[in-house]
Amino acid sequence: MNKYVIGIGEALFDCLPEGRKLGGAPANFAYHVSQFGLNGCAISAIGKDELGEEIVEKFNAVHLNHVLPVVEQPTGTVKVTLDGKGVPQYEICLGVAWDNIPLTDEMVEIARNAQAVCFGSLAQRSERSRATIQAFLNATPKDALRVFDINLRQSWYTAEVIAESLQRANILKINDEELDVVATMLLGESTIPGQLIAEDAAKTRRVCRELISRYDLEMLILTCGAIGSYVFTLEEESYIATPKVKVADTVGAGDSFTVTFVVQLLSGKAIREAHRKAVAVSAFVCTQNGAMPVLPEELK
């Protein structure tokens, strides 16, 4: 059986100013995996409604593997508004399908054949989906990449969920504002929200490597918006400044970064080369509307 690269968690519609677009970080991840020619798979849940049918149609149209059990709750939606810099703000509906993802035999079989899986904190806000995601991760091979793309949204996370997720992950993807939250919750660090990099780069490095060490991670990816991004291991550090581009919106840019980095690692590329490619792809996505633009051939 072909090995899978999986996004598990929320699949939903982002309701943007210009219209409705398919999204959800794990779904974005799986979609971009398929663009790179790997065996991507999106795992979530949908409702018995037109939106659920539309998600299936859109995944089928791009030949993306999916496991989307139909549940009683409605398909998820998120109202997205953009500030003057194209940075999204999210209003996330409660009690939706992806809050109620059931564990199926098909999911377990896919987990056993995983090369890599990406998951976040948002879909773990509900007990049922959290149990499914954790069981799925427990079923993956020991050598699989398990990427915790933390994606803290509003108040939908706890220290317990973050710690349990880190214990199951071997790569953490986090942004600078999220790093402040996690450093305070898990390490007892007192930091300035959103300004850890700018205020104290040495402290940032120490916090990142402490998280790597405490949770036995292989690496930590830290994105800092328009400033740049880092990849840390205990021995190595890569920094690349963010390219200057005309931003349409930044929805899905972080997900495309994660996918590209993972795909490059799976193809045997060194961290620095994988990092450079991830920056280029995410910069392109920022110039497009929505989370799932078609990538130009030179970036694949």
Mean pLDDT of the chain: 89
Local structure of 244: helix, strand or coil:
coil
Residue 179: per-residue pLDDT: 93
Give the phi and the psi of residue 227 in degrees, each rounded to 5: -80, -55
Going by pLDDT thresholds of 50, 70 and 90, the confidence category of residue 291 is low
Q: Is the pLDDT of residue 1 over 90?
A: no
Q: Are 225 and 242 in contact (CB under 8 A)?
A: yes
Which residue, among 67, 201, 200, has the nearest Cα to 133 in the 3D structure?
67
**Rounded to whole angstroms, how far apart are CA atoms 202 and 205?**
5
**Rounded to whole angstroms, how far apart are CA atoms 284 and 295?**
8
Residue 97: per-residue pLDDT: 97
The DSSP annotation for 165-227 comes to: HHHH-SEEEEEHHHHHHHHHHHH-----TT-HHHH-HHHHHHHHHHHHHHTT-SEEEEE-TTS
Q: Is the pLDDT of residue 102 over 90?
A: yes
Residue 215: per-residue pLDDT: 98
Whole-model pTM: value is 0.90
Residue-wise burial string across 221-242, b where 16 or more C-beta atoms lie within 10 A, e elsewhere: bbbbbeeebbbbeeeeebeeeb
- Structure confidence by residue, pLDDT tens digits, 137-162: 999 999 999 999 999 988 899 999 99
**Rounded to whole angstroms, how far apart are CA atoms 300 and 297?**
5
- Structure confidence by residue, pLDDT tens digits, 197-244: 556 778 889 999 999 999 999 999 999 888 899 999 999 999 999 888
- CATH value of 4-294 in 3.40.50.9100, 3.30.70.270, 3.40.1190.20, 3.40.50.2300: 3.40.1190.20
Q: Domain locations in the chain?
A: 4-294
Residue 95: per-residue pLDDT: 93
